[in-house]
């Protein structure tokens, strides 16, 4: 097959996402009082409503409605004051009542958007001649919806203008959101005896109904994405938003956040959408990117060989980096959707919506911009710190305690402490380091008392002993000599002992400076500042 870059020279990929997020911060399920848990024994948290027993009546979870409204407000959606639940029928053992309770054409949240910034290598996936307007999409007869529930929306007055804007290192583009609707999750099935954990070829299947009825929101984008990297970045940004507003733990590993990708191809310059395929099992950001990349290249090969792309659901196999057919895709008619007679329509009041808005707090983009402006951080560093609410709070506390400013704290957190946490299986919430310790470590690095390599040693010692960075540095004799007179004496000694290397430097071999710095560090038993040695050597050799 051709590579992605080769395919995108002649074809335009049209991608839409369906992102499913369990509301894991709630205590009970969507339509009953059963406990939400991924850890209890199988089928311990079930009741007649979960199991669809005759006569069982659902009662909506008000806090789940609050969560989806917050999700809509955070993604600039229009909150629909009146909506209702429908029954989506299908025959499969993961839903004992043989229908899923979901929303119909009007969801709680409609027509929002998220702005994406694509920089560096990621931006290179999009060809330079790609159209700037992504709203010009016309459904083909083979596809009346490019992913999700309901018809494709082409309202040009929807949030975000849909126009790509080029920047110095990439581009920005708003990705429209068609809807965010509420539904219940299905049971968890485990297939035993098969080679890949799928029902085909399995000797037996186990069903755990604990997950059945879990409040789940599904976000459906418009087909505005054009590259696998854009899809990956959209998913990452959405995860940051949902973490910030506290509605889910958004764990791709445990399945509380899942994504399906819809992709089709069309020749460059065309506006009619091609026939799409839907990709399942995209359970990581890498799988999302790699699955879409493979499918784009596969469809291009089929079309260029004169074949026809079928509308079907495909399974992505990460180990083989390929997609395989699961089933021919159902249409909305196959689900026999109709209003649920057991659930009355919803009428959300202005007061309820505004109370949800008041609970949002500062969203990641706003926090990033504030960090950039207030602390003079690089945009990439500000974005990384703002991505995790706990990390952002840790940073602000440490920055407030640091004498040498927030930039050094950000550098130490991102380049030293995060590595320490990963090695120890910790994060900002469970850190064995305190913000005050990190602030002290950042101050020592900023003043040149220690270098980055020593900072890692000190961070590990702080986590183990609970002592301050300064106490550890002094106890271990790690403090760097920063007095120029003392350092210059070492420089003169080394240059006198290394005349050949000094001559090489003066002849244009500037790489030899690394050897001379090393000799200086050896001469002072590692107590000198290597950065300052480098500067003094260059001054002396000119």
Backbone angles phi, psi at 483, to 5 degrees: -75, 120
Distances 395 to 11, 71, 81, 431, 443 between C-alpha atoms, Å: 44, 25, 39, 12, 14
Q: Please give the span between the terminal C-alpha atoms of the chain, in angstroms, as a whole number.
A: 56
Token reading at 233: 């970045």
Interatomic CA distance for residues 429 and 440, integer angstroms: 19
Same-domain pairing of 458 and 493: no
CA angle centred on 71, ends 359 and 119, rounded to 5°: 110
Distance in angstroms (rounded) separating the CA atoms of residues 384 and 315: 32
Are 218 and 258 in a shared domain? yes
Q: What is residue 332's predicted lDDT score, i.e. its pLDDT? A: 64
Whether residues 462 and 493 fall in one domain: no
Q: Which two tokens mark 309?
A: 């792309």
Q: Give the separation between CA 60 and CA 362, rounded to whole angstroms.
A: 28
Q: Cα–Cα distances in Å, from 396 out to 241, 246, 401? A: 19, 19, 9
Distance CA 438, CA 442 (A): 6
CA neighbor of 122 nearest in space, from 178, 176, 173 = 173
**Cα 257 to Cα 19, 226, 249, 286, 322, distances in angstroms:** 7, 22, 8, 14, 22
Picking from 456, 475, 494, the residue at the C-terminal end of a domain is: 475
Q: For position 146, what pLDDT does the model report?
A: 38
Return the H-helix or E-strand segment holding 506: helix 499-506
Structural tokens at position 372? 């950039």
CA 180/CA 186 separation, integer angstroms: 18
Residues counted in the chain: 542
Q: Which two tokens stand for residue 365?
A: 């983009």
**The pLDDT of residue 502:** 93
265: left (phi over 0), alpha (psi -120 to 50) or beta: beta
Q: Residue written as tokens 């959300």?
A: 348
Does residue 377 share a domain with residue 354? no
| Rg of the chain taking only CA atoms, in angstroms | 28
At residue 511, the pLDDT reads 92
The answer to whether residues 272 and 225 belong to one domain is yes
- The answer to whether residues 338 and 392 belong to one domain is no
Q: Answer yes or no: do 453 and 496 share one domain.
A: no
Residues 185 and 209: their CA atoms lie apart, in Å, by 10
Assess whether 13 and 118 both reside in one domain: yes
Residues 232 and 253 in one domain: yes
**Closest residue by Cα to residue 110 from 63, 60, 145, 159:** 159
**HSE-CB for 406 with a 13 A CA cutoff:** 20
Domain count, the chain: 3
Q: Which of 475, 502, 518 is the last residue of a domain?
A: 475
Q: Residues 276, 263: contact at Cβ < 8 Å?
A: yes
Whether the CA torsion 344, 349, 351, 353 is positive or negative: it is positive
| Beta pairing partners, 257 | 21
Q: Are 163 and 133 in contact (CB under 8 A)?
A: yes
For residue 175, what are its two tokens? Answer: 């990705």
Question: d(Cα 317, Cα 287) in Å, to the nearest integer?
Answer: 9
The domain of 497 spans: 484-541
- Pairing, β 11-22 against β 312-317: unpaired
> Which pairing describes strands 82-83 and 257-267: parallel, antiparallel, or unpaired?
unpaired
pLDDT per position in the chain (542 positions), as tens?
999 999 999 999 999 999 999 999 999 999 999 999 888 999 999 999 999 999 999 999 999 999 999 999 999 999 999 999 999 998 889 999 999 999 999 999 999 999 999 999 999 999 999 988 887 554 443 333 334 433 333 344 444 456 899 998 999 999 999 999 999 999 998 888 766 566 667 788 899 999 999 999 999 999 999 999 999 999 999 999 999 999 999 999 988 999 999 999 999 989 899 999 999 989 899 999 999 999 999 999 999 999 999 999 999 999 889 999 988 866 666 788 999 999 999 999 999 999 999 999 999 999 999 999 999 999 999 999 999 999 999 999 999 999 999 999 999 999 999 999 999 999 999 999 999 999 999 999 998 888 878 899 999 999 999 999 999 998 988 887 777 888 899 999 999 999 999 999 999 999 999 999 999 989 987 778 888 899 999 999 98
Q: Verify that 20 and 150 share a domain, yes or no.
A: yes
CA distance 57 to 59: 7
Is residue 43 within 8 A of residue 209, CB to CB? The reply is yes
Could you give the CA distance from residue 542 to residue 537 in angstroms, rounded to a whole number? 9
- Can you list the pairs that 59-65 forms with residues at least 24 positions away whose Cβ atoms lie under 8 Å? 59/31, 59/32, 60/30, 60/31, 60/85, 60/343, 60/346, 61/26, 61/28, 61/29, 61/30, 61/31, 61/215, 63/26, 63/27, 64/23, 64/26, 64/30, 64/182, 64/215, 65/108, 65/182, 65/346, 65/348
Q: Which helix (H) or strand (E) holds 534?
A: helix 530-541
Q: Is there a single domain that holds both residue 67 and residue 164?
A: yes
Q: Do 471 and 515 belong to one domain? A: no
Last residue of a domain, one of 475, 496, 519: 475
Which tokens sit at 179?
């809807």
Q: Any idea which residue has 């399906």 for tokens?
A: 260
What string of DSSP letters covers 235-252?
HHHHHHHHHHHTS----T
């Amino acid at each position: 097959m051709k590579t992605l870059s080769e395919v995108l020279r002649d074809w335009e990929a049209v991608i839409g996402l369906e992102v499913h997020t369990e509301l894991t911060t709630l205590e009970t399920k969507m339509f009953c009082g059963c406990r939400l848990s991924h850890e209890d024994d199988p089928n311990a948290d079930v009741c007649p409503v979960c199991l669809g027993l005759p006569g069982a009546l659902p009662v909506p979870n008000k806090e789940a409605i609050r969560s989806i409204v917050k999700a809509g407000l955070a993604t600039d959606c229009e909150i629909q004051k009146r909506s209702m639940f429908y029954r989506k029928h299908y025959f499969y053992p993961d839903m004992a009542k043989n229908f899923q309770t979901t929303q119909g054409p009007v969801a709680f949240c409609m027509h929002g958007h998220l702005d994406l910034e694509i920089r560096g290598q990621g931006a290179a996936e999009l060809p330079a001649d790609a159209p700037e307007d992504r709203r010009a999409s016309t459904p083909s007869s083979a596809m009346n919806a490019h992913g999700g529930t309901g018809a494709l929306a082409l309202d040009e007055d929807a949030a975000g203008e849909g126009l790509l804007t080029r920047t110095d290192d990439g581009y920005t583009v708003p990705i429209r959101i068609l809807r965010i609707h509420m539904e219940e999750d299905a049971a968890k099935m485990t297939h035993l005896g098969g080679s890949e954990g799928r029902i085909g070829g399995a000797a037996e299947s186990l069903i755990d109904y604990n997950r059945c009825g879990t409040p789940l929101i599904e976000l459906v984008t418009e087909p505005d994405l054009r590259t696998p990297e854009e899809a990956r970045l959209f998913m990452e940004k959405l995860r940051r938003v949902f973490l910030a507003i506290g509605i889910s733990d958004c764990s791709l590993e445990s399945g509380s956040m899942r994504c399906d990708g819809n992709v089709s191809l069309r020749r460059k310059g065309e506006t009619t959408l091609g026939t799409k395929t839907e990709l399942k099992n995209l359970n990581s950001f890498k799988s999302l990117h790699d699955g879409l990349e493979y499918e784009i290249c596969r469809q291009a090969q089929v079309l260029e060989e004169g074949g026809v792309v079928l509308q079907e659901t495909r399974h992505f196999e990460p180990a083989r980096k390929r997609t395989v057919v699961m089933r021919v895709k159902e249409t909305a008619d196959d689900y026999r959707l109709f209003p649920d007679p057991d659930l009355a329509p919803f009428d959300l009041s202005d007061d309820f919506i505004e109370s949800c808005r008041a609970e949002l707090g500062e969203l990641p983009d706003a926090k990033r911009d504030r960090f950039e402006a207030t602390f003079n951080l690089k945009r990439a560093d500000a974005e990384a710190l703002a991505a995790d609410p706990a990390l952002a709070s840790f940073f602000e506390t440490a920055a407030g305690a640091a004498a040498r400013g927030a930039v050094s704290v950000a550098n130490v957190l991102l380049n030293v402490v995060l590595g320490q946490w990963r090695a120890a299986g910790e994060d900002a919430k469970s850190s064995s380091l305190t913000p005050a310790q990190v602030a002290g470590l950042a101050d020592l690095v900023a003043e040149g008392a220690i270098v980055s390599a020593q900072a890692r040693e000190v961070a590990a010692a702080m986590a183990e002993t609970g002592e301050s960075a300064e106490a550890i540095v002094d106890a271990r004799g790690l403090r760097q000599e920063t007095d120029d007179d003392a350092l210059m004496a070492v420089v003169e000694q080394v240059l006198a002992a290394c005349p050949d290397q000094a001559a090489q430097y003066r002849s244009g071999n500037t790489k030899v400076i690394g050897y001379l710095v090393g000799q200086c560090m050896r001469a002072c038993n590692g107590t000198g500042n290597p950065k300052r040695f480098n500067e003094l050597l260059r001054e002396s050799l000119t």
